[in-house]
Chains A and B, each alone.
Chain A
Amino acid sequence: MIGFVGRRLMACAVLVVMIAVVTFLLAFSATGNVARNLLGENATADQLAAKNAELGLDQPLLAQLGSWAGHALRGDLGISWFTNEPVSQAIANRLPVTLSMVVLAVACTALISVCLGVAAAVRGGWLDRSIQVLSVLGFALPNFWVALVLVVFFSVSLGVLPATGYVRLSESPGGWASALVLPVASLVIGSTASAAQQVRGAVIDVLRQDFVRTLRARGLSPRSVLFRHALRNAASPALTVLSLQFIALLGGAVVIEKVFAIPGLGTLTINAALQGDVPVLMGVVVTLVVLVVIVNLAIDVVSGWVNPKVRVR
């Protein structure tokens, strides 16, 4: 198990470095207009040159990369060019916001999709067909459209949930929960539709296997077969799907944060990309990559723990 985790850690580290380098080269090679955007229309050529020197943009690209990497390894991700906020502080402020939303969405997705998937697999018939139709529908609806419909109905018409914003948990648990209901619901509809189908397929596959027939022949109750044996064997593909859902939900959060004006990493990323705020963009990309890598690693470890066959891959 230790060797398995070690190999995964090495692969993850290489991945983080590669993505950071590629992002850096892409982002920093297009910084020609940053000084002008920062200093405005009246800036002279000398002022623009001075600003470029101050930001280090007059250095060769590899020197800039070395400087950024050196600082980043010491935990210094720099300062936003456009808001003067330290990047690490900006990320620290916004990461909990995005994680609140995504973790809740993943938890809800797991709960609902397991219920629906198992119900569809076990009961079959009209329930299975209904769940499949709903899944296709849920998968087809864009989450930003779902979000807008939910806002119009629950916030503008009924006035029962906030249309925008985020409240810190420490500030008001009720406000925090109510602020997240609609964003999480918008994310969950699409992800559940996909995950429920995967769970259904995994459970059906397991229930068709020989060992299940043997268990039934030994007189075990259907509940015991399902919950103590079949679900455990179906857990591995389900966990993989959930890890993919986590990554997809991080991407989906970018749009949902925009719709609900939630100050999370998605909003930070969009604003940084539109402005050309490269230090922020780099910080966010590296953070998200590390986050995704950690989740994948955790899922690999859990899968390996649940199913020893996985470890030999």
Chain B
Amino acid sequence: MLIPRLIRRGGAVVAAAALVAGLGACSGAGAGSSSAAKTLTIANVLDNNSFDPTQLNIGNQMQYWSPVVDTLLTRDKSNKLQPSLATAWKYDPTRTVLNLKLKSGVKFTDGTPFDASVVRANLTNLAAGTGQNSYMSQSVTTYQIVSPTEINLKLKTPDPGLIDYLASVGGVMASPKSLKSPTVATTPVGSGPYVLDKAGTVVGSTYTYTRNTGYWNAAAFPYDKIVIKPMTDLTARLNALKSGQLNAALTDTNSLADAKRTGLTVNTTPVNWNGLLLMDRDGKLVPALKDVRVRQAINYAFDREAILKNVSHSEGALTTQIFNVAGDGYDKSLDGRYNYDVAKAKQLLTEAGYGDGFTITMPEAANFAQYNAIITQQLAAIAITVKWVKVPANAVIPEILSGKYPVAFMTLGSQSAWQDIQKAVTRKSPWNPLKAGDPRLDKLLAAAQTAPEAQLPAAMKAVSKWLVDQAWFAPWYRENSVFLSDSRTAVAMQAYNVAPGISSFSPKE
């Protein structure tokens, strides 16, 4: 009676579920459908913040804007600078005038032609903006338009990072008409290989890009359609990738074994370094940290190899320096400078008069919970006590940059050497919140800033050696950023960015 009816209804429910599954399979929503042969579907760990050129970010959010805009320069798969909207670039002997030859015949999607005045409009707009990367064009003081296809960027003092910036947010070119438009944050008007398909875009869910017809370098972009899905949850990204809904996605080292087992391709790049920022080098908060021997002792106290193996599953390389392997400042010979040696650390502390130890205060953030116990234990071994102060996840960076802490753990990205110096080494650097400095370092930085191109690597390496010798930081290792891709998608990882740009993807033959 009732039970057979329930069973019959249960059968109907199962049949309905099967029907729904069949309908879903026919809907072609996944990256694996046959219609998606020329579609690239990727996940991003963040939502897009803005298409306003003054608000663009590097890192993960670069994937949202890189389809729709061109930059003046670009980087190839081996990280070498290549022409883009600027076909040639050259400094004068004083390195205070950068001459750019520009591509002709390029138009933005609103029909505005690209020329030297557009370069001036974009760079001044960026410099006047309040975005995270406004600094990228702030060293330019004067713009001299030589012709519609040539411009001189004049600087007050040399800026060794400028050319690198022109291949990043600093070189983004958008239609000047769009720069002050009320819709600039949501409607990009660029000259890039793709255009944002507003009908196929739902903020927070899906960003769809279709080809910009007539794009000057279409052959370099093999996909007809790009779909980017913001997915903050790692498990969701992995499941979507494994089930064929995505072609590629950023993950972390914890999911590597699972990814390899399911046949996904693991692509890595060592952009970030993990370790301690020893910010109180002048001893303003903790006098002991003013002594270089104490900072060196902290460097010796960490078993970098064990941490790399057990926390990051050996995905990375031990290091003592903050500079990117692909940049001018990296010196391989420095990476073995502070091998794990507790006895040596104790000896240095004793020589400095801190054999009985001291206490430091560090911010405790849930993002880095896996490192906190290690830091406590390894510093305790040399009698340094850590007092943790709980900090909300979204306040970690502001708290560290506030100058309240002498030491903090951080995973910090590294790009070109001068960019990293500006970020963390000069007296004005944001990641030098206690504004520590040293005349010897100032001299090295001045030499690097004015060095001719041929001598730049040596000058940057000299800075790196000084920073390592003086133990300004305690880096443990460069951790690989892991980007997974399916069997149909090739990914060329970039040296300076955790997430590859759209030009880095191609279908596997």
Contacts and interface: CB of A to CB of B under 8 A. Distances in A.
Interface of A: 30, 32-33, 36-37, 39-43, 47, 50-51, 82-85, 89-90, 93-94, 115, 118-119, 122-123, 127, 148, 151-152, 154-156, 159-167, 172-175, 177-179, 181, 258-261, 263, 267-268, 270-271, 274-276
A263 B130 CA distance: 29
Contacts of B374: none
Interface of B: 2-3, 6, 9, 17, 20-30, 43, 47-50, 52, 57, 130-135, 185-186, 202-206, 229-233, 235-237, 239-240, 242-245, 262, 392-395, 397-399, 401, 423, 430-431
Given A258-B233, A259-B233, 18 more contacts: A32-B398, A39-B131, A83-B47, A90-B204, A115-B6, A161-B24, A164-B229, A164-B236, A165-B29, A177-B20, A178-B21, A178-B23, A178-B27, A179-B24, A181-B21, A258-B232, A275-B394, A276-B394
B243 A162 contact: yes
Contacts of A33: 394-395, 398-399
A166 B27 CA distance: 12
Nearest to B24: A178
B16 to A, nearest CB: 9
A47 B397 CA distance: 17
A174 B26 contact: yes
Contacts of B395: 32-33, 276
A42 B132 contact: yes
A113 B306 CA distance: 53
Contacts of B52: 84
B27 A156 contact: no
Nearest to A172: B27
A161 B18 CA distance: 10
B203 A90 contact: yes
Contacts, number: 175
A303 to B, nearest CB: 26
A210 to B, nearest CB: 24
Given A41-B401, A172-B27, A261 B236 contact: yes
A164 B23 contact: no
B49 A82 contact: yes
A116 to B, nearest CB: 8
A159 B23 contact: no
Nearest to B55: A84
A157 B262 CA distance: 11
Contacts of B393: 274
Contact of B203 (A83, A155, A270): A83
Given A33-B395, A83-B49, A263 B236 contact: no
A274 B393 CA distance: 7
B24 A165 contact: no
Contacts of B242: 156, 163
Contact of B23 (A155, A177, A258, A263): A177
Given A166-B205, A179-B29, A261 B240 contact: yes
Contacts of B24: 160-162, 174-175, 177-179, 181
14 contacts: A39-B131, A41-B401, A90-B203, A115-B6, A127-B3, A155-B239, A156-B242, A165-B205, A167-B29, A172-B29, A174-B22, A263-B206, A268-B204, A276-B395
A53 B376 CA distance: 40
A40 B29 contact: no
A83 B240 CA distance: 24
Contacts of A276: 394-395
B128 to A, nearest CB: 11
A235 B396 CA distance: 51
| Most chain B beta carbons < 10 A, residue from A37, A43, A161, A162 | A162
